[in-house]
Amino acid sequence: MSTTTIRIEEALKARISAAAERAGKSSHAFILDALSETLERVEMDDALHQIADQRWASLVSTGESIGWSEATAYLRSRAAGQKPRKPAARKLAR
């Protein structure tokens, strides 16, 4: 395991210490958890953007889409425990 030194303003250090104490952790463990959670969020955001870019490229290349009203009706039915037929894609008007 390597060591990294960071400079933290006294006010932030005090807030971290107080929050760590409330969480029942050391300041070190609290900071590591915060870094890990932030990294995970950034990685998930990157993955989401990659999926969005792929779907946008598909939409642009095929011109096919599902209308908002059809999509929301389908999702509401699924959320209600029903098994609706998937809405059919349609060509977008250009």
Tens-digit pLDDT profile for residues 63-93: 999 999 999 999 999 999 999 999 999 988 7
For residues 51-89, b (16+ Cβ closer than 10 Å) or e, as one string? eeeeeeeeeeeeeeeeeeeeeeebeeeeeeeeeeeeeee
Could you tell me the end-to-end alpha-carbon distance of the chain, in angstroms, rounded to an integer?
56
Tens-digit pLDDT profile for residues 13-29: 999 999 999 999 999 99
Mean pLDDT of 29-55: 98
Ranges of each domain in the chain? 7-62, 64-94
Q: Which two tokens stand for residue 77?
A: 């039915």
